[in-house]
Structure 1
Amino acid sequence: MRSAGGFSLIELLVAVAIALTVLGAASFVLTHQLGYGQRLLSETRLHAQAGTLLERMTRDLRRTGYREHEQASADFDLRLPATDCVLYSYDRYADGVASANERFGFKWQRVDGVGVLRMRKSGAGLTDCAEGSWETLSDPASIEVTSLEFVALDQACYDAASAARRPCPQHAGAGERLLVRRELEVRLRAQDRARTLPPVALAARVALPVAPLLPE
């Protein structure tokens, strides 16, 4: 008699073993891809947060020294009291007078054990980074600003009449009309709070507005 067709028990066990192996491999690949995708999303979010902070600083710093007319207050200027702090001012109200809420700044500070980026909303002058009204820009729950640095780069002075470049004195002399052009580099490093992602290091150059060099 002809034996009935079908699979033996051993063949069924082998088929099940192969299927389980394939299923396990597929599950591993899927889990790995999901984990990689989540990590990539977290890295992108960290870069975006750090980039937003850097862009906020550079956008406002580009207004430094703006004055409605040449004889405006000499207080419309920029100072670097520390490597991780910049104080600056501009003629927001176009009245030629530097008031407290026209003096701004950015600085790195450790708050409750977490490094943050802070912005000054008002202040009495441009020399003391501890003075004034400050607010925190970064979100300490998700990102830690590990370092912040402001570096003065090129400074050039030009004669307003001839446009000839010349050395920059501390103040314009009597009868001199000099224009000063300056550049600043902002360097920011950040890390996610869990410290599971690679740190982010960003930098940007800021060309400050050309401004008259005022007499003493």
Structure 2
Amino acid sequence: MTLIELMIGLVVGLIVISGAIYTFLVSFKSSRDVVYSARLNQELAAITSIISDDIRRAGHWVQVGDLSSPYSDVGDDFNLVSSTCALYNYDTDADSIVSAAEYSGVRFSDSAIWVKTSGTSMTSCSAGAWERLSDENFMSVDAMTLTDSSLCTVNASSAVCPASVGTDEVASVREINITITASVVNDSDWTKTVQETVKIRNNFYAD
């Protein structure tokens, strides 16, 4: 075998190897994109489901004996503090008393979604203990917006939901629109936005 033949053989071998490597890289990127897409969809669906199901329970309580409702005013059971934070509570153990352990909340902060695990404040989104809900190693939450689309009536007339009941007769059918946008940490080109409308099961009524 001459030197020229050896060089030609090396060139042909390099071309074949380059083609194989290129095919592998294309296949790897395609597989990675499928994984990114599927996991991002799954993560956002799970987060939205957890938030929605929890908010729907706001204001739930079971009457025990002669105990009256622990909710005497608008905002006692659910308070949309801002477009990025909501605080709420419900009677999980059916004793007709809302204890400190039955307060919860959700907020958007530091490119993540957080849930409240302790603390009784219904006005401060920094008080109490909060736990990260979104996976910081995989996804970055770019935005979360909570919008109030509740329908209220005061003395049988449509009106903006009041801050307090006062002496008026108030009925409120409460709905919250949730919009979340997130992207993959390792590839920001993969971005997805999900929307969900949550109707709180317990309509608020007071007179």
TM-score range, shorter chain: 0.7 to 0.9
User: Distance in 1 between the 2:130 and 2:21 partners?
Assistant: 51
- Assess, with a 3 A threshold, how the Cα gap between structure 1 residues 119 and 131 changes in structure 2: closer, same or farther: same
- Assess, with a 3 A threshold, how the Cα gap between structure 1 residues 141 and 19 changes in structure 2: closer, same or farther: closer
RMSD (Å) for aligned C-alpha atoms: 3.3
SS of equivalent to 1:167: strand
Partner of 1:210: 202
SS of equivalent to 1:150: strand
Which one of 63, 73, 76 corresponds to residue 70 of structure 2?
Answer: 73
What's the CA shift string for 1:12-52, capped at 9, x where partnerless? xx9x9999867755653443123212222122212211221
Instruction: Answer yes or no: is the 8 Å Cα contact 2:84–2:144 preserved in 1.
Output: yes
Structure 1 stretches of 4+ with a deviation exceeding 4 A read: 16-27
Partner of 1:87: 87
User: Distance in 2 between the 1:106 and 1:89 partners?
Assistant: 11
1:1-216 matches, cutoff 5 A: 25=19, 28-69=22-63, 71-74=68-71, 76-110=76-110, 115-157=111-153, 166-168=157-159, 170=162, 171=165, 173=167, 179-215=171-207
- Assess, with a 3 A threshold, how the Cα gap between structure 1 residues 23 and 142 changes in structure 2: closer, same or farther: closer
Partner of 1:9: none
Q: Normalized against structure 1, the TM-score is what?
A: 0.74
- Assess, with a 3 A threshold, how the Cα gap between structure 1 residues 131 and 196 changes in structure 2: closer, same or farther: closer
Give 2:70's aligned amino acid: S
SS of equivalent to 1:117: strand
Farther off after superposition, 145-154 or 193-202: 193-202
Instruction: Answer yes or no: is the 8 Å Cα contact 1:146–1:189 preserved in 2.
Output: yes
User: Distance in 1 between the 2:89 and 2:40 partners?
Assistant: 30
Q: Normalized against structure 2, the TM-score is what?
A: 0.77
User: Distance in 1 between the 2:105 and 2:34 partners?
Assistant: 33
Instruction: Answer yes or no: is the 8 Å Cα contact 1:66–1:211 preserved in 2.
Output: no
SS of equivalent to 1:44: helix
Give 2:81's aligned amino acid: P
Give 2:158's aligned amino acid: P
Partner of 2:4: none
- Assess, with a 3 A threshold, how the Cα gap between structure 1 residues 214 and 145 changes in structure 2: closer, same or farther: same
Instruction: Answer yes or no: is the 8 Å Cα contact 2:148–2:175 preserved in 1.
Output: yes
Tell me, which stretches of 5 or more residues in structure 1 are unaligned? 1-13, 160-164
Farther off after superposition, 30-39 or 83-92: 30-39
Instruction: Answer yes or no: is the 8 Å Cα contact 2:176–2:199 preserved in 1.
Output: yes
User: Distance in 2 between the 1:141 and 1:19 partners?
Assistant: 40
* Paired-residue identity, %: 20
User: Distance in 1 between the 2:89 and 2:180 partners?
Assistant: 21
Tell me, which stretches of 5 or more residues in structure 2 are unaligned? 1-7
SS of equivalent to 2:105: strand
Farther off after superposition, 47-56 or 82-91: 47-56
